[in-house]
Structure 1
Amino acid sequence: MPAGPQLIRDGVLRLIVASHEGEISVQDVEAQGGVLEAVNYTSLSYIRLLDAIENEFGVYLDADEGGEALGTVDGIVTAVLAELGSDAA
């Protein structure tokens, strides 16, 4: 299912909030420039997020390979879009 970058971004933001058990809001994340560490995102929340991304978008993001890039909303969106693009090939 092709999805545009804004739809992916909206979905990622929704999953970030949900995986942190609602302790943060989309506005909190955006106010910190999309940096998860800046909103005290925990390692457990991060694991939940990666699982939720796999369930939602059907792509696997490897935290070890993604490194710091997966610590931001933009980095996660870029990785999801790249994986979706490679799945379509």
Structure 2
Amino acid sequence: MSVREKVAALVAAACDHTIGADDVLAHGDSLASLGVGSLAYLRLIDSLESEYDVRIDLDADVTFLESLDAMVEQLARLGVRETGT
């Protein structure tokens, strides 16, 4: 599973699967426009930190949380790489 696919699955889980991972993957606009709310964003941040052993500074610019591709790009900047599995 690619990082992009895994992050989409984490978004879906953070939303209690009211939004599917396929919807997240197909949607190019902001996650908020899909219905991702503030509690889901907090769950997502926890999941990203746990899954990828990264730290997301909530006092810094977190606009990367607005879209799937921006999150994947930020994770790459934090050292997350595709594993090939």
TM range, normalised to the smaller chain?
0.7 to 0.9
Give TM-score, length-normalised by structure 1.
Answer: 0.78
8 Å CA contact retained: 2:8, 2:22: no
**Does 2:60 align with 1:53?**
no
**Does 2:77 align with 1:82?**
yes
Q: Deviations 1:24-53 (Å, cap 9, x if unpaired)?
A: 012222343152111110100000000000
3-state DSSP class of the match of 2:16? Answer: coil
2:16 pairs with one of 21, 28, 43: 21
Give TM-score, length-normalised by structure 2.
Answer: 0.81
**Does 2:8 align with 1:9?**
no
Gaps of 5+ in 1: 1-5
CA distance in 1, matches of 2:11, 2:66: 11
| Residue 64 of structure 2: aligned partner | 69
CA distance in 1, matches of 2:34, 2:69: 15
3-state DSSP class of the match of 2:25? Answer: helix
Between Structure 1 and Structure 2, which shows a larger proportion of helix residues? 1
Instruction: Give the structure, 1 or 2, with the largest relative contact order (CA under 8 Å, sep 6 or more).
Output: 2
Gaps of 5+ in 2: 81-85
RMSD: 1.8
Percent identity between the aligned chains? 30
Distance 1:10 1:31, change over 3 A: closer
